Structure 1
Amino acid sequence: MLVFWKARFVLLAVPKTGTTALEAALAPRADAAILNPPGLKHCGVAKYRRDLAPFFEQRGRRPLELVAVMREPVSWLGSWFRYRSRPGLAGQPNSTEDMDFAGFVDAYLSKQPPPFAKIGSQARMLAGGVDHLFRYDRPEQLYRFLEDRIGPLPEIELRNSSPARPVDLDDIRRRRLEIERADDFDLWRSLAAP
């Protein structure tokens, strides 16, 4: 999470949306950077407003605007699946190395997901609303916003690249996912308009 106090916004770090690359490029220009622990780096809207806003915001000033990036829900799950199949997690409870994407999605949708499928929800993280929500697949819109607020951007290099693995999903599972995680899909669709 990056706090741009002078520019009056906070860039929330939604996992698997490229925010680590943004943090690496923009942290030197931020007024505060929360990179660890992960529970604070990746805090959602509710936690920010409850725990961090009182620290960063001052009475009598307008609140800092919240900025976030969202990824298409199936692509987001695919990124988690691939990320958790990296060699460094081999043999760990949160590894997905010995399964296919369909099995990962089934586990994610189960009533009690196993450790490898406990990844939360983008909609839940963003619940309460952000002022500016950008699509992961349209980075130029986010970059324009950032440039308007903080000036020319440095080069933003890809970080946390995940291993290549197939993330095909059959129509039945996709429909189940759309029904059971409707909040994520509804939020994504709300961003679909140009």
Structure 2
Amino acid sequence: MLVFSKARMVLLSVPKTGTTAYEAALAPHAALVISDPPELKHAPVFRYNRHFRPMIEKFIGEPMDIVAVMREPVSWLGSWYRFRQRPGMEGRANATHHVSFDEFVDAYCRGDRPGFANVGNQAKFLEPTRNGTAVTRLFRYEDPAKFDAFLSDRLGLGLETQRLNVSPSMQLDLAARTEAKLRRKFAEDFALYDSL
């Protein structure tokens, strides 16, 4: 999470949406950088509202734009699947070496997910709180030029990012029936992404 006091903007770090690259490029320009532990770096809207918003509003004021990036849901899961196959993950409870992508997505659709498929959900991460705290600007991961232009304009700087924390490349196959189940169970994620 990055907080820009002069630009009156908070950039939430939705996991697997390239935020590590943006953090590396923009951290020198931020008033506050939350990069560790992951539970704070990747604070969803409800956690931002509960723990960070009161402090930020007290010292910086309001209104703050809350900005985030969302990835197409199947691609997002693919990134998680590949991330959990990186070297050194073998034998860990959340590793995906022992399952196909189709099995991973099927497990993700269960009510009681196994550790390897427990990766959260973007719509829940971005869900507005009861007091009205919500993402005010949401961008597609697949359209970085639009997001980069927004950041450059808002922060008044030229933006250059490098690819960081990239998951291993591999072919991912998803059966039509599994994708249909995913789309049914996580309709909110697909609807939110399609609305962008």
Q: CA deviation at 1:89?
A: 0.8
2: CA distance, partners of 1:18 / 1:3: 17
Q: CA deviation at 1:58?
A: 2.8
Give structure 2 stretches of 5+ with no counterpart.
129-133
Match of 1:186 in 2: 191
Give 3-state SS (helix, strand or coil) of 1:10's partner: strand
Give me the TM-score of the superposition, normalised by structure 1.
Answer: 0.95
1: CA distance, partners of 2:66 / 2:53: 10
Tell me whether 1:173 sits opposite 2:178 in the alignment.
Answer: yes
> How big is each residue's C-alpha offset from its partner over 1:22-66, in whole Å with a ceiling of 9 and x where there is no partner?
001110110010001111110111111111011111389422110
Task: Count residues in correspondence.
Answer: 191
Contact 1:71 / 1:137 at 8 angstroms: preserved in 2?
Answer: yes
Quick one: structure 1 residues 59 and 29, their matched pair in 2 at CA, closer, same or farther if it must change by over 3 Å?
closer
Contact 2:148 / 2:159 at 8 angstroms: preserved in 1?
Answer: no
2: CA distance, partners of 1:101 / 1:59: 45
Superposition RMSD in Å: 1.3
Q: Quick one: percent identity of the two aligned structures?
A: 50
Give 3-state SS (helix, strand or coil) of 1:88's partner: coil
Q: CA deviation at 1:125?
A: 0.3
2: CA distance, partners of 1:33 / 1:61: 18
1: CA distance, partners of 2:79 / 2:85: 10
Contact 2:5 / 2:60 at 8 angstroms: preserved in 1?
Answer: no
Letter in 2 for 1:185: F
Give me the TM-score of the superposition, normalised by structure 2.
Answer: 0.94
